[in-house]
Structure 1
């Protein structure tokens, strides 16, 4: 496994594994504490693992947490997703930068999203399973959502949004989210 910095988002990394494939399928290490530690991320800091399954066209996001934020490792374990990260850390040299990734069950690449960055994705396949490993217990009172179609973000979602939660569909614009996370 190797760690690849994401230049557009300070502190973000792609962890690229080396799948072993044969006629049965593949085997792949999806987390390696030594590789994670080698780039300054505490491998013991993660507190919860979750998984989502989404139908093709579903948009989940854009999400982040107020307060101390939330760092996460994100991997598409089955199918494919169009993944988006937006740096909303005011002191970051990449503040307001956005970056897009195609995460896939074929590659098993893991994306590290630093605390203070908004994250979301759209399922490109039927279905797409996404695994998350977050660095602190979830507190719904700290949840912040940003409109997926906010013109300031101008995210080029590859498909029409087929389904999304009521919370995501009613999410406020980026300007309101920035005000909330700076409280």
Structure 2
């Protein structure tokens, strides 16, 4: 498995190397030992508290082409997550909202798909969202805390300060996402 550091502090991208033959393919999409080893390197420089065994909840979403989900985050101690696209492809976006971070306010996009099988590690303290690029896209999340709706935070996917370059026209967003506040409002409330 190949591991890449992202431009955003503490974010890692794990890309498996599938075995392919006439039957199709086989790949391991997660290895706890490798995950813990890579994060221990981050811990030497900064406090990154997540370990593979910390993930307690798995979720999955299915979205149609052009749908945007996001930009979501958590208040309090936040939530770390592992994100991958198990079917189709998505344009996945992170925004660092950790004021003490060297990449505070910076965004980075990744293409996650069912070809490369990349797994994105998102530490706590990020806004996260994505747009489905294929007729349908399934996104799987492994999260390190139980969901508490009282801690949900969001910034509008179309916020002019973030200016996220969604690659397709947005076909649909949830009512909640359409009513989300701005980056400025989030910064004022934090």
- Normalised by the length of structure 1, the TM-score is 0.95
1:5 CA displacement:
0.7
1:21 CA displacement:
1.4
1:175 CA displacement:
1.4
Q: Which moved more, 1:169-178 or 1:50-59?
A: 169-178
CA separation in 2, counterparts of 1:134 and 1:36?
A: 14
Corresponding residue of 2:160? 151
1:17 CA displacement:
0.6
Secondary structure of 1:39's partner?
helix
State how 1:1-183 maps to structure 2 within 5 Å.
1-6=1-6, 8-40=7-39, 41-180=50-189, 182=190
CA separation in 1, counterparts of 2:113 and 2:32?
A: 22
CA separation in 2, counterparts of 1:78 and 1:178?
A: 35
Q: Which runs of 4+ in 1 moved over 3 A?
A: none
CA separation in 2, counterparts of 1:127 and 1:23?
A: 26
Q: 1:131-177 CA deviation, whole Å, 9 max, x = no partner?
A: 00011111111111110011111100011110111000111101112
- Number of residue pairs aligned between Structure 1 and Structure 2: 180
- Normalised by the length of structure 2, the TM-score is 0.92
Pairwise CA RMSD of aligned residues? 0.9
Flag structure 2 segments of 5+ consecutive residues without an equivalent: 40-49
Q: 1:48-99 CA deviation, whole Å, 9 max, x = no partner?
A: 0001000000000000000000111000011000010010100001101110
Flag structure 1 segments of 5+ consecutive residues without an equivalent: none
1:45 CA displacement:
0.8
CA separation in 2, counterparts of 1:21 and 1:78?
A: 18
CA separation in 2, counterparts of 1:97 and 1:50?
A: 26
